[in-house]
Every structure is written in C-alpha cells, then in structure tokens.
Amino acid sequence: MNKTGKNKARVGHGSLIGAGIAALLIIFLLNPNWLPFSEKTTSKIAELEKTHFLIERSGEITAAHWLTLLLAVCIVQLIFTIIKTILVAIGKKGVRARTITTMFVGALKYLAVIAAVVWGLRILGIDTTAILAGIGIIGLILGFGAQSLIEDVITGLFIIFEGKYSIGDIIVLDDFRGIVREIGVRTTTIEDAGYNLKVVNNSDIRNFQNRSRNTSLAVCLVSVAYDTDLRALERTMSESLPALYETRKDLYLSAPRYLGVHELGDSGVVLKFVADVKEDNIFPAQRALNRDIRVLFADKGIEIPFPQVVVHNGD
C-alpha cells in the first residue's frame, strides 16, 4: 500500500474510533444513573435532556452543564460521521460522484463546527440571538475584505458543476504535474509522483491542462545512419512493431507506430515512434518504448549513429 493509501486508511480508522467513542458517551450520558456522579448532578443532566439541551440563563454554570455540553458535541460528531460515511459510500460509485461528495464533506465540517458552537452556547445559557446578530454585522464588514475567500468558494462550485477536472484526474498547473486528490470548498490538493502535495486556492486555478481526458502519447526519437535504406527499414518496422504491443499490453493501448522522418540531424536521420498510453502510465511507457526500439534496432542490425570526432594530422 502506498503512502496515500495508508493515510486514507488511517483517517478512516480514526473516524470509526471517534464515532464509537461518541456513541458510547451518548449512551452513558442519556442514562445518567449509570454514571458515578452525585444524585444532584444526574438529576440536573436529566432535566437538561428533557428541555432538549436548551435552558434559560440562570447565572450559574454547573458540572451538569458541562456534561450536557459534552453530550451535545458527541451528538454532532456522531451525526457528522454518519452523514460522512454515507457520502463516502455514494462517492465510490464513480469519479464524478466522489468529486461532488468530497466538497459536500468539506462544507459539512464547517456546518458541524458552527452547529456545535451555537448549541454549546445555548446549553451554557448564553443568548445566541444577539451573538448571531453581531456576527452578521461583523461578517458584513469583513465581507468587503474577504473577496478572495468568496471567490475561492464560488470558483470551487464552478469547478464541481462544470466538471473541468475531477478527483483522480492528472493536471498540469504552473509546471506542477500531479493527481487531484481533493477538491474542497476553498482549495484543491494535487499530489505529484513523489507524494508531494500542492494546495492551491480554487480562484488561482485558471490556466491548467487536464491530461486525463484524452489518450497520451509516449514518444521515441531515434537516429539512423544516412546510408540506411529507409524503405527497407520501414517495411521491417511495419512487421515488427505489432509484436511490441503483445509484450506491453499493460502499458500500450495499441501497437507503437512509426510516424516517419522527424529531422535530418547532424550525424543521422531522426525517426519518430509513438505509442498510445494512459496519462498515469506516461513515464514508464516512455522508458519502455525507448528500450523496445533500441532492442528492436539491435536485433535487426540497424545502426544508431553517435557523434564522432575526426582528428586531422597537419603532416
């Protein structure tokens, strides 16, 4: 299992453990008599439960308030984990589904935190109406200075619904080539071949190449001597290239093709060979094609010239 797979497995196990702990705490806190607390504390917890964890401000915050706050946080965590599990299961149905559900999971995290904070303040007897009104005014003021944040979110939505790229696609962005691992509400995460992650704001993703939508080409440029009989060589290639596909079906999508004379070089005639491959196999396929052509030329006795230095004696 590669590094990415291990990280995903670790995150998945952590979510299950967290959900299990949250479920156990809910079971115990919904049954206060099972807990080793005083009768006054357990009765207060029961009273808070009956009012659905929403109480009037009494000027006193007791241990029962904190325990009930813990219960509320556990409920939010459990609901978040259940919904996330459902979304992840839906995402396994395809790349498009996984891309959309990943963004929903990211947005759900923010909603869960907001719900936990608001609910917690209500449990502690704090009037959240005035706080939310104040936050709304402050948010309006800050909104004028948070245009980049709003642009990131809106661009992320356009990325999802226009389908310019999806999770698992290979894209090239500012000379960084990698696989799209996550499309969040604000950012996109790209991982290159060395497992290095690049996190880019969605609004900064403007000029990029999606290399996964079409078939890619592995290219081999090789020289032959000027005295080579090109007609005989081309007949040999047409007979021999199909056999390369039979031994490289894991890399080549079809038999390699000879495209003709690419250039008349200084020391030889440069020929061009290509093979259709998937973009995620482009580098191993490129190396394989170079090797296969070199071995094929050696088997057929075709000379590959190399620069030579001729020294003239002045005598």
DSSP string, 228-279: S-HHHHHHHHHHHHHHHHHH-TTT-SS--EEEEEEEE-SSSEEEEEEEEE-G
Mean pLDDT check: name the lowest of 54-68, 185-199, 255-269.
54-68
Distance CA 183, CA 102 (A): 7
* Averaged pLDDT score across all residues of the chain: 75
- Between 36 and 307, where is the model more confident? 307
Fold of the 156-210 domain: SH3 type barrels. (2.30.30)
pLDDT at residue number 265? 84
What are the extents of the domains in the chain? 3-145, 156-210, 216-299
Q: Which residues pair with 261 in a beta bridge?
A: 271
pLDDT attached to residue 82? 81
pLDDT at 35: 52
CB 44 within 8 A of CB 64: yes
**pLDDT 10s digits, 4-51:** 454 444 445 555 565 566 566 655 555 555 555 555 555 665 565 555
Residue 181 pLDDT > 90: no
pLDDT at residue 58 above 60?
Answer: no
Is 3.90.1150.10 the CATH number for 216-299? no
Tens-digit pLDDT profile for residues 95-104: 666 777 777 7
Which is more confident, 178 or 88?
Answer: 178
Output the CA torsion 99→105→107→110 (10° steps): -150
If pLDDT is split at 50, 70 and 90, which confidence band does 56 have?
Answer: very low
